[in-house]
A and B are shown apart, each in its own frame.
Chain A
Amino acid sequence: MTKPMRQSKFAVFAMVGQTVKELFLPFIFFAMQGDHTFSRKLWWLAGFLLVSFIFGVLRWFFFTYDLNAHEITVNQGVFVKRHAHVPFERIQTLTKTQPVLFQPFGVYQVRLETSGEKDDQLTFNALTPAQIDTIARYRQAAQTKVSETLIDTKQPQVRATYHINQQELVRYALTSFGSLGIMGVIFTILSEVSNHLPQHVMMGLDGWLRGGSVMFYATLAAGVILVGMGVAFIKIYNQYYGFTLTRVGQHLAIARGLFTKHTMQLRTTRVQAVQLEQSLLRRALHLQTVSVLLASANQSEKNDTHQNVLMPVVQSGQVAEVIQPFLPTLQIPTLKRAATVRHALRYQMQYAVMWALGMFGLLLIANWLMATYLHFAAGFVWLVGLAGSLVVIWSISGWLCITDQRLTIADDMLAIQITPWFTKRQYYVRRDKIQGVRATQSLFMARHQAQHLQVVVRHGDSATYIKLRYLQADVVAQVNRWLIDVK
């Protein structure tokens, strides 16, 4: 067992910041009382900062942690003492983050996540690399059942390493769809700004825009798209710069980031499923992203989508070969076409067109309401164009959904491929990591012996449902039998 240790002194700033945040509203409330002069307000501010500083230092002083072979204990609280004991066995991931400000001081924020269902985790504001190494070694030793005497002496051997190269990183950033989101943000900002501009400026701008030719608008649109793509590119480049994946025994370590550096360690035994993902664009370029679904206490919606990426971009044909050294027990069986019922494609297309028309119906109602109350409505040509586009988009999506479906059972591994909304995903899940299966069918489907299948896999602190559509009932029964077949 170690002596109680404190965080790096840099953590005082974070603690002070936390106290400032907590006391800010009461401070504003008191500072606003009465008619104070400017110098009095300055005194108030100085007092507030002093109290925050003292509390921050006290918080830092009373925040200690100690380690033994089995658990980490965190003690904190100035007035109300809290002690958290977390067995190393329960720790799923160890995440290090180093924002730009932390870099000159060489300290990291550290998060230890457990497998509990609620969002329970231990967070350290600032630890030095030596402190983190000690925690990581204790954890690794506890999880690999190495005897205590080896803890401080033996450094485990690195078994495999993967570095992203510049070319791959650029390719990944360029094929990211983040630019669409950024464009959305740009448009939102522009519309917000336009609401607050004086009227004569808006009139001038309006006149200037009206005077433009088609070429002018095309250039403007291209400009916005380019800016959006540029920003998205920089964002992705920053997030994945220097991406390195390392395997040491049963542990994987992921390090990435240019300005803010992230490092995460996870146990391969806690991986629930491996996911290979391809957007439409990456599909054309034969590129795939490899990530894992992980059992952790992180709430799924809070979950950083980048957190579980093992390899940002890999050539489609080389995935098995590249991933093998990192997940040696992972089998990647050849995917076979899922046995759907005879007219599955037709049923899915009917369903898709119905959805598209449903959406169109809602838009028609919105259009009618706008015409009635705002005296502004889209013309007939626009509506027909919109209906056509919706039908085409939904139909292509429906077509991909059925034609891309794959399902293979190979020993203890279930391999599934689906394409919901143009993004192709392949899942490789071991039998013992599947929590359950759901089958649904409407009366119409029952006549054709068709069923939809959902495979339930844990992801974060909740579940991911992998859905296959219009399968033959026999296939669903086969998956059911395979799942509950205990050796």
Chain B
Amino acid sequence: MIPTNAKSLPQAAKKVWAVQAILVMGIVVLADICMNSLFQSHWSHAVMTAINVIFCAILALAIGRLLCIPYYYRYHKYLLTPDAVTIYRGFFLRKTETMPVNRIQNVDTEQGPILQYFHLQNVVIVTAAHNFKIETISEDVAQTLRDQLIAAARQAREVDADD
């Protein structure tokens, strides 16, 4: 389903996802420890068990996410042609989304502290109805992609306007 000319994300994306998952795990563990030490004597045993179960479930999801990073990376690609931008995700549950460039309203880039550290950016492509993200691509590629998409969108609009 994924064409051979589709591009992969930079290798550093795996590190970003790992840091994010580890951060989530750290926060969950810390929050659970705080809850237990502060409220154990005030709340009933059943309530505390339920809280611990919820925290464990979140922790398990974060660990799952951490273990699945190679899988996400392997099957997360994008393809930019002069007419459309397409994003591919997943192997067990495969998703493909295509957006013609002349429907693009604007292209935004986002960069949190972790992405900043690794010199990566998220590119958000917005149409009149919805938007989609190409996550964790290098700053240079994001900038090129952004310029390319805007140029393509402008050119496509000019063609439409000429019509």
Is chain B found bound to chain A in the same assembly? Answer: yes
A239 adjacent to chain B (CB < 8 Å): no
Q: What's the Cα separation between A343 and B160 when bound, in Å? A: 41
Contact call B93/A484, Cβ cutoff below 8 A: no
B128 adjacent to chain A (CB < 8 Å): yes
A485 adjacent to chain B (CB < 8 Å): yes
Chain B residue nearest to A457 in the complex (CB): B129
Knowing A438-B95, A443-B92, A486-B156 are in contact, say whether A459-B129 is a contact too (CB < 8 A). yes
Q: What's the Cα separation between A195 and B118 when bound, in Å? A: 62
What are the residues of chain B within 8 A of A137 when measuring CB–CB? none
Contact call B128/A483, Cβ cutoff below 8 A: no
Q: What's the Cα separation between A387 and B153 when bound, in Å? A: 53
Chain A residue nearest to B83 in the complex (CB): A484
**Residue tally, chain A, CB below 8 Å to B:** 28
Contact call A436/B97, Cβ cutoff below 8 A: yes
A480 adjacent to chain B (CB < 8 Å): yes
What are the residues of chain B within 8 A of A456 when measuring CB–CB? 127, 129-130
Mark interface residues in B96-126 (1 if CB within 8 Å of A CB, else 0).
1111101100000000000000000000000
Contact call B93/A295, Cβ cutoff below 8 A: no
Knowing A439-B95, A442-B92, A446-B94 are in contact, say whether A486-B127 is a contact too (CB < 8 A). no
Most chain B CB within 10 A, of A443, A464, A473, is at A443
Instruction: Determine which of A435, A443, A480 lies in contact with B130 in the assembled complex, contact meaning CB atoms within 8 Å.
Output: A435
Mark interface residues in A228-268 (1 if CB within 8 Å of B CB, else 0).
00000000000000000000000000000000000000000
What are the residues of chain A within 8 A of B97 when measuring CB–CB? 436-439
Mark interface residues in B63-96 (1 if CB within 8 Å of A CB, else 0).
0000000000000000001011000000111111
What are the residues of chain B within 8 A of A442 when measuring CB–CB? 92-94
Contact residues, B141-161 vs A (CB, 8 A): 156, 159-160
Q: What's the Cα separation between A434 and B100 when bound, in Å? A: 9
Q: What's the Cα separation between A446 and B75 when bound, in Å? A: 15
What are the residues of chain B within 8 A of A438 when measuring CB–CB? 95-98
What are the residues of chain B within 8 A of A485 when measuring CB–CB? 83
Instruction: Determine which of B95, B156, B159, B163 lies in contact with A440 in the assembled complex, contact meaning CB atoms within 8 Å.
Output: B95
B50 adjacent to chain A (CB < 8 Å): no
| Whole-angstrom distance between the Cβ of A256 and the nearest chain B Cβ | 27
Chain B residue nearest to A473 in the complex (CB): B1
Contact call A440/B93, Cβ cutoff below 8 A: yes
Chain A residue nearest to B126 in the complex (CB): A117
Knowing A295-B128, A441-B1 are in contact, say whether A436-B95 is a contact too (CB < 8 A). no
| Whole-angstrom distance between the Cβ of A410 and the nearest chain B Cβ | 19
Knowing A432-B160, A439-B95 are in contact, say whether A462-B100 is a contact too (CB < 8 A). no
| Whole-angstrom distance between the Cβ of B15 and the nearest chain A Cβ | 28
Q: What's the Cα separation between A127 and B95 when bound, in Å? A: 51
Contact call B160/A436, Cβ cutoff below 8 A: no
Most chain B CB within 10 A, of A435, A440, A464, is at A435
Contact call B102/A436, Cβ cutoff below 8 A: no
Q: What's the Cα separation between A439 and B83 when bound, in Å? A: 18
| Whole-angstrom distance between the Cβ of B132 and the nearest chain A Cβ | 8
What are the residues of chain A within 8 A of B163 when measuring CB–CB? 487
| Whole-angstrom distance between the Cβ of B141 and the nearest chain A Cβ | 21
What are the residues of chain A within 8 A of B92 when measuring CB–CB? 442-443
What are the residues of chain A within 8 A of B99 when measuring CB–CB? 435-436
| Whole-angstrom distance between the Cβ of A249 and the nearest chain B Cβ | 20
Contact call A483/B94, Cβ cutoff below 8 A: no
Contact call A483/B98, Cβ cutoff below 8 A: yes
Mark interface residues in B1-18 (1 if CB within 8 Å of A CB, else 0).
100000000000000000
Q: What's the Cα separation between A151 and B130 when bound, in Å? A: 37
Contact residues, A455-487 vs B (CB, 8 A): 456-459, 462-464, 473, 480, 483-487
Q: Pick 16 A–B contacts, CB within 8 A, sort by A.
A: A432-B103, A435-B127, A435-B130, A436-B99, A437-B97, A439-B97, A439-B98, A440-B96, A443-B93, A446-B1, A456-B130, A462-B129, A484-B84, A484-B100, A486-B102, A487-B159
- Enumerate chain B interface residues (CB-CB to A < 8 A): 1, 81, 83-84, 91-100, 102-103, 127-130, 132, 156, 159-160, 163
User: A434-B100, A434-B103, A484-B84 given. 6 additional CB < 8 A pairs?
Assistant: A437-B97, A438-B95, A439-B96, A462-B130, A464-B129, A484-B100
Ranked 9 nearest A-B pairs via Cβ? A463-B129, A458-B129, A436-B99, A484-B84, A435-B127, A484-B83, A435-B129, A463-B130, A439-B96
- Enumerate chain A interface residues (CB-CB to B < 8 A): 115, 295, 432, 434-443, 446, 456-459, 462-464, 473, 480, 483-487
